A and B are shown apart, each in its own frame.
Chain A
Amino acid sequence: MRIMCCLKPVPKPGTVKVDPETHTLKREGSDLEMNPYDRYALEAAVTLAEETRGSVVAVSMGPPNAEHILIEAFSYGADEVVLLSDRVFAGADTLATSYVLAKAAETLGPFDLIVCGKVSVDGETAQVGPEVAAWLGWPSVIWVKKIRPAEDGLELVRVIDDSQEKLKVALPLVITIENEANDPRPPSIKRLLKADELEIKVLGAEDLSAEAKYLGLEGSPTRVLDVYTPEYKGERRVLSGPVDQVVDSLVSILKERGLV
């Protein structure tokens, strides 16, 4: 099985930089790390490749300073790594991002499977996986808990509210992985020692034969108008002082309100 795994570079907590005009994230100049949820996607992809004697191509869309994420992906078992990087990709919302990933799947493919994390910790939309599937015309299943190779496809387990479903889905397919699906392995030292020899392929819009109208800010149908800090009104009591004293005051207020 040939698998593409999408890894999102996200800003390390506390280093988020935002373009003041477009309110989109500036990934350049931020300290980037692999979206934590994508570790489970990569583990699922590598395990499945091992089970089926297949291979994993790890793909990230981001600025050049996201390269170290792909080296990390190699250390976790990816066979090939590709950085999708081009100035014209900047400012992409989920639709424009998923377009680039879908074009990458076409260019680097054919693939049997695309694996993504369940959600990213920065945008937190969970939209890119199913959108990639829609661009490609493939089925998608999100928040997969269990994966098993089956004849002509995969057997998957997913949870919808109170129900757990066992599905059989034909390939090619896009799935997003729940973090209870696996226990990601530590990096391989052997692979890390070989990281110098790793070729990080870098592909831009032209390499992907991507159409300009679908790329970056221009290809993004959503716009952030402005941002604001929510204000909360209401009476506020501030308790400070020695621990015993504040705990006493807190308990008596809660008692007054009939809460303890």
Chain B
Amino acid sequence: MSHQGVCVFGEWTGEAIHQVTYELLNEGRRLADELGVSLSVIFPGPPEAESEAQGLIEFGADRVFMALDPRLANFLDDVYSRIVAKVLEDSKPEIMLFGATAVGQALAPRVAGLLRLGLTAHCIAFEIRQDDRALIQIRPSFGENVMARIISLTKPQMATVRPGVFRPAKRTAGRTGEVIHVELNPELLESKIQVLERQKAPKKTVDLTKAKVIVAGGRGLGNKKVFERLFELAELLKGAVGATRPVCHIGWVSEDHMIGVSGVSVSPKLYMGFGISGALHHVVGLQGIETMVAINIDPEAPLMQRADIAVVGDAREILPRLIQRLKDLKGVEHESRE
């Protein structure tokens, strides 16, 4: 067997190791154990990241390929992709996983292009095909509203994984493994990209990933004015407003509110979807929700089939009525306290 082993990309944020790396280590460990092979990490970063990179062994890695240089303190698309491609060519793993982060999505396709490899974006699950050890990569497919099972005919079989899909690996203190320092010659480190300035990005208007309650709206809400009433409901429930992609596209709300493949993954206790049909692009962003409520005029809509509570009715009518009802309720509570 020419290619063997599972490998994941270790992502440095400039201050720490990105959370998704621990999620990749957990799923990577599971795949490696099922295949009976070792798990490696490719970690480019500045020298000061060394001890944290070494710590990845305690999170399940058997080997850490470290490419350490002060010039790797910032993510450089061309240099990082060259380094990852070189380690993959030398170590020949059968599987390579990246987080579908900003860095992972810039890096993975460059590596795929350099090595002429298949790459499956935004996977949400993996399976091993028993007869030939092929990695079955599962992701939502096109506008079909189905999940697709995909294989790669090239090795390593590469995929990016949505952050928040897998649980992070747990630490086992004292776990041992090997550190391999990647030889970095000047050509490998030569970049056409120069970072002039790095600063905190303007804060997103909303962070849905931490919300306990999310009230989300889709095109079924009819227009922007009705959609905006979701903010009133969110305030009453101490929650945040989520949205589907089409609604962000037509400008009812900014993309910071987008849940789904090109948006964020969320796991609130309560999720309410108003006039959302439940396209997979949106639904894959809903993870481990305790109570899912769908409000739709069409009882057959996919989100209605999936919800814990399916409310059959026009979301445009139900939303204002629900706001009023909750306001009345608060008023009553308020009075009784007085």
Which positions in A face B, CB cutoff 8 Å? 11, 13-14, 16, 18, 23, 25, 36, 93-95, 98, 119, 121-135, 138-143, 155, 158-170, 173, 179-180, 214, 220-230, 232, 234-240, 243-244, 246-248, 250-251, 253-254, 257, 259-260
Contacts and interface: CB of A to CB of B under 8 A. Distances in A.
Contact of B311 (A130, A161, A166, A250): A250
A205 B35 CA distance: 41
Interface in B44-86: 74-75, 77-78, 81
Interface in B79-115: 81, 101-103, 105-114
B143 A16 contact: yes
A232 B97 CA distance: 27
Interface residues on B, range: 35 or more
Given A167-B196, A251-B326, A161 B102 contact: yes
Given A160-B75, A167-B195, A257-B291, A130 B142 contact: no
B77 A130 contact: yes
B138 to A, nearest CB: 9
A28 B318 CA distance: 41
Interface stretch (B1-9, B148-156, B221-229): B148-156
5 contacts: A124-B261, A140-B106, A163-B200, A251-B326, A257-B291
Contact of A259 (B108, B202, B245, B270): B270
Given A169-B192, A246-B313, A222 B150 contact: yes
A221 B329 contact: no
A251 B318 CA distance: 12
B101 A95 contact: no
A164 B310 contact: no
Contacts of B312: 238-240, 246
Contact of A95 (B117, B151, B201): B117
A121 B198 CA distance: 30
Contacts of A133: 110, 113
B77 to A, nearest CB: 5
Contacts of A230: 146-147, 280
Nearest to B323: A247
Residue among B154, B198, B199, B311 with the highest chain A CB neighbour number at 10 A: B311
B153 A254 contact: no
Contact of A119 (B118, B262, B325): B262
A253 B309 contact: yes
A214 B262 CA distance: 28
B293 A250 contact: yes
Given A18-B144, A243-B313, A251-B322, A259 B213 contact: yes
A170 B191 CA distance: 9
A239 B296 CA distance: 11
Interface stretch (B26-34, B165-173, B179-187, B299-307): B299-307
B196 A168 contact: yes
B237 interface: yes
A98 B119 CA distance: 12
A214 B117 CA distance: 11
Given A140-B106, A167-B194, 11 more contacts: A95-B118, A127-B121, A133-B110, A135-B113, A141-B77, A161-B102, A169-B193, A225-B136, A228-B146, A237-B308, A251-B329
Contact of B119 (A16, A160, A222, A238): A222
B311 A132 contact: no
Contacts of A259: 213, 237, 269-270, 291
A139 B198 contact: no
Interface of B: 13-14, 18, 74-75, 77-78, 81, 101-103, 105-114, 116-122, 136, 141-154, 191-202, 213, 237, 245-246, 249, 255, 261-262, 269-270, 280-281, 291, 293, 299, 305-314, 317-318, 321-322, 325-326, 329
B122 A125 contact: yes
A227 B144 CA distance: 9
A251 B324 CA distance: 11
Contacts of A170: 192-193
Nearest to A160: B102
A62 to B, nearest CB: 15
Residue among B136, B202, B308, B309 with the highest chain A CB neighbour number at 10 A: B309
A125 B121 contact: yes
B57 to A, nearest CB: 25
A164 B200 contact: yes
Contact of A250 (B148, B153, B309, B314): B309
Contacts of A140: 77-78, 106, 110
Contacts of B147: 227-230
CB-based closest 3 A-B pairs: A134-B113, A221-B118, A240-B312
A254 B120 CA distance: 39
Contacts of A122: 142-143
A232 B245 CA distance: 23
Contacts of A246: 311-313, 318
Nearest to A135: B113
Contacts of B120: 222
A223 B108 CA distance: 18
A129 B77 CA distance: 12
Contact of A227 (B111, B149, B154, B213): B149
B191 to A, nearest CB: 8
B299 A238 contact: yes
